Amino acid sequence: MKKIFIRLTKSIINLCILVFIIFSCVFIGNLAFNYAYDIAHKPSPESRSIKEVEITVERGATTKEIAKILEEKGLIKNALWFELKSRYYKYDGKFKEGKFVLSTSMDEEEIMEILTSEGSKVDGIRFTIPEGYTIEKIAQRLEDENIVKKEEFMKALNETHYDYDFLSMIPERNNPLEGYLFPDTYEVRKDGEATEIISKMLKRFDEIVKPEYYDRAKELGYTMDQIITIASIIEQEAKLDEERPKIAGVIYNRLDSNMNLQMCSTVMYALGKRKDRLLYTDLEVDSPYNTYLYNGLPIGPICNPGEASIKAALYPEEHDYYYFVLKDEETGEHEFTKTGEEHDRAKQKYNQKF
């Protein structure tokens, strides 16, 4: 009886050892597979170029066919490795048909998860960025809504390369993407990264600013970056849509006459905050964004404008106005004037300093 017990005990121990060996082999194999894949095929974060990409998976498409599409679109580096990894993680044969919006910032597992779910909207979070928000305000709003930390968003803005052609036209400056994060309503994955959000906003800008807009900017004798800068000033100065082209006309009249723009919104951007009333000392802030102090356009946009302001910048109203003053703080309506004397009278009439 004792011998039988000893044999049984040895068998159980041997079985436990065998199970442990098998488990260890699987675990080590998993680590080895991922390690080998990462070394051979996964690009470093620094070398990634972030872009939103839409793909279509047809009904009945095989993993091999899907992997080829992903490779061609620049979403993965090697189709064969993706196919092998899909089999290893048991995603093979589970990919769904339909249209999917992916990002080059996603790793293979994230792509697999999206392709086997109901698309990129699974566990999605919706958020809205209003027209006229600065980058700082966008970052703060995303943090307030628990979507992404402000610090992560700002880091992703400044330390990541995004693959959109229009970005090459932006001169070197601080916050180069100011003006290009298009205000709209977006939906992102619950665990999405800051780079995905930024890429979505840049992609939307690319969709809104059509090729004919670039042609029109050239007709006016301005770069698109200058047009977006003008649009950002319009966005901050105008509350009424019908006044946007008229305010644009004032800006162009001043530029054509080599007058300082003297836009309060640019001073506020230089100060880094909005104020109900500017002081005369505020107008002395030494900044390339201060259009009271420096002639011409500021060195870049002062906010992220919507399409109405971009259109106004491209198609300004032709008139002889050089000034405007706020006459109704509730509606945002302005009074437009042609001369300095008329402007002074309007300021006195509506109790405005500037």
> Is the Cα dihedral 68, 71, 75, 79 positive or negative?
positive
Q: Using 50, 70 and 90 to split pLDDT, how confident is the model at 353?
A: confident
Q: Where are the alpha helices (DSSP H) in the chain?
A: 2-41, 63-72, 79-88, 108-115, 135-144, 150-159, 194-208, 211-220, 224-237, 244-256, 264-271, 307-314, 340-349
Strand partners, 91: none
Q: Give CA separation, 136 vs 62, 172, 181, 219, 274, in Å.
A: 44, 19, 11, 33, 12
Give the pLDDT score at 354. Answer: 83
Please report where in the chains the tokens 């095989």 appear, as a residue: 62
For residue range 283-297, list pLDDT tens digits in order.
999 999 999 999 999
Which of 42-51, 92-101, 288-297 shows the lowest per-residue confidence on average (mean pLDDT)? 42-51
pTM of the predicted model as reported, rounded to 2 decimal places: 0.80
Which of 45-49, 333-337, 339-343 shows the lowest per-residue confidence on average (mean pLDDT)? 45-49
The domain covering 46-115 belongs, at the CATH homologous superfamily level, to: Endolytic murein transglycosylase (3.30.1490.480)
Give the pLDDT score at 323. Answer: 98
Comparison of pLDDT for 2 and 52, the residue scoring more: 52
Strand partners, 100: 55
The residue ranges of every structural domain in the chain are 46-115, 124-208, 221-349
> Is the Cα dihedral 24, 29, 35, 38 positive or negative?
negative
Tell me the mean pLDDT in the region 4-23: 54
Q: Are strands 185-189 and 124-128 parallel, antiparallel or unpaired?
A: antiparallel
Distance of alpha carbon 201 from alpha carbon 180, whole angstroms: 8
Distance of alpha carbon 304 from alpha carbon 335, whole angstroms: 25
